[in-house]
């Protein structure tokens, strides 16, 4: 009886006043297990999504850095320029700047090349041949109008030396009374000059015919600024102008005989 009375209080003590048993508390071990399980489930759901986004992102093929023997280290890596696309601009708000329009000025037209200067052919001063009256049709125009336009003056002894065709024209009252054809040889230095006249034909109004019994005449003198002045037994010769035009050389002057008559003189070559 005493034993039953001792057990009765213990049984009543383990029960609550409402007659229900108290709840048992979870241990820390089970709490940790549950937390790890929850993390694993969450990671299994998130990780595949992240990997899918990374795989869909554009990739850049970058050149690998190279190690050279000269610098002893890694060379500089030049990254290719990436031009933003329209989708990138729409998402990021970046708008690429428009390239400025480039206006190319037309190339200037090439200037025409100047025509090459063709040097005048050398004038034969030795083989001029015998003269004719037609070789001196220019003389009247020079006597009346002066030297023609474009003429180049010859003023030194070297340029006037050599063989020439010659013509003398005696005029009285505006009429030609005597004409003479000849060859002249001029030998001129810096100052001194010698001229030899080789008489060829004469015309007293009845046509040209060869001179009979007339020998060559020699005249000595000087050249001064392009003017030749010479004196001889048969007359005085003065050549006042030498010039060159269109591949020929010319000279004009006067010839005075001892009696005082004056003839106009023309020389030409070749």
pLDDT tens for the chain, 270 residues long, are 444 444 444 444 444 444 555 555 557 777 777 877 778 767 666 666 656 665 555 554 545 444 444 444 444 545 455 455 555 555 555 555 565 565 666 767 777 777 665 555 688 889 999 999 999 999 999 999 999 999 999 999 999 999 999 999 999 999 999 999 999 999 999 999 999 999 999 999 999 999 888 889 999 999 999 999 999 999 999 999 999 999 999 999 999 999 999 999 999 999
**Fold of the domain spanning 133-269:** Lipocalin (2.40.128)
> In whole angstroms, what is the distance from residue 68 CA to residue 74 CA?
7
Phi, psi of 91, deg, nearest 5: -85, -35
pTM to 2 decimal places: 0.57
Tens digit of each residue's pLDDT (9 = 90 or more) over 2-24: 444 444 444 444 444 445 555 55
Query: Counting Cβ atoms within 10 Å, is residue 117 exposed (0-12), middle (13-18) or buried (19+)?
Result: exposed
Give pLDDT tens digits for 34-67. 877 778 767 666 666 656 665 555 554 545 444 4
CB burial of residue 187 (10 Å; 0-12, 13-18, 19+):
middle
Q: How far is CA 169 from the centre of its chain?
A: 57
What is the DSSP secondary structure assignment for residue 124, as one 8-state letter? Answer: -
């Amino acid at each position: 009886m005493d034993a039953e009375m001792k057990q009765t209080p213990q049984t009543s003590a383990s029960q609550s006043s409402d007659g229900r048993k108290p709840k048992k508390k979870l241990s820390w071990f089970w709490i940790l297990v549950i937390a790890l399980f929850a993390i694993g489930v969450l990671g299994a759901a998130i990780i595949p999504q992240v990997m899918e986004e990374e795989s869909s992102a554009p990739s850049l093929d970058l050149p690998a850095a190279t190690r050279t023997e000269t610098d002893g280290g890694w060379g500089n890596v030049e990254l290719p320029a990436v031009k933003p696309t329209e989708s990138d601009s729409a998402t990021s708000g970046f708008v690429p700047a428009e390239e400025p329009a480039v206006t190319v000025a037309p190339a200037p037209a090439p200037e025409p090349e100047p025509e090459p200067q063709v040097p005048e052919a050398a004038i034969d001063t030795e083989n001029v041949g015998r003269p004719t009256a037609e070789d001196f049709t220019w003389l009247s125009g020079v006597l009346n109008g002066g030297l023609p336009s474009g003429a180049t003056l010859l003023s030194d002894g070297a340029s006037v030396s050599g063989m020439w065709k010659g013509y003398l024209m005696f005029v009285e009252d505006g009429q030609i009374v005597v004409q003479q054809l000849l060859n002249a040889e001029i030998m001129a230095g810096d100052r001194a000059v010698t001229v030899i006249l080789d008489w060829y034909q004469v015309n007293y109004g009845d046509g040209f015919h060869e001179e009979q019994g007339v020998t060559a005449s020699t005249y000595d003198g000087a050249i001064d600024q392009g003017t030749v002045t010479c004196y001889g037994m048969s007359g005085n010769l003065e050549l006042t102008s030498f010039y060159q035009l269109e591949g020929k050389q010319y000279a004009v002057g006067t010839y005075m005989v001892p009696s005082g008559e004056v003839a106009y003189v023309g020389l030409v070559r070749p």
